[in-house]
Amino acid sequence: MRSERCTDDMALSKTIYNVFFRRSSVFTVTIVVSTLVFERAFDQGGDALFEHLNRGKLWKHIKHNYSEKTEE
């Protein structure tokens, strides 16, 4: 079983290597594209974490309380 997993892993890493890393041009493109993806994920994840930690304290969480009052 161990050898099977080993070969699977090796096949996967071989594919990754051949697709993304073999040519320097493709490697560069991979870096740039994954930076874009990473940036989006990191920024939005950070914002989501911040809002989760400050739930109920931010203006957008308590805004509806005050807008209802002005309507009345």
Kindly list the distances between the CA atom of residue 58 and the CA atoms of 4, 5, 36, 44, in Å, as whole numbers in the listed order: 52, 49, 28, 17
Q: Residue 44, interface with other proteins (CB under 8 A)?
A: no
# residues near other proteins by CB under 8 A: 17
Stretch that binds other proteins, among 29-37, 44-52, 56-64 (CB under 8 A): 29-37
To the nearest whole angstrom, how small is the minimum distance from the Cβ of residue 37 to other proteins? Answer: 9
Stretch that binds other proteins, among 32-40, 51-59, 61-69 (CB under 8 A): 32-40
Q: Residue 13, interface with other proteins (CB under 8 A)?
A: yes
CA dihedral of 8, 10, 12, 14, whole degrees rounded to 10: -150
The rounded distance, in Å, linking the Cα atoms of 10 and 2 is 12
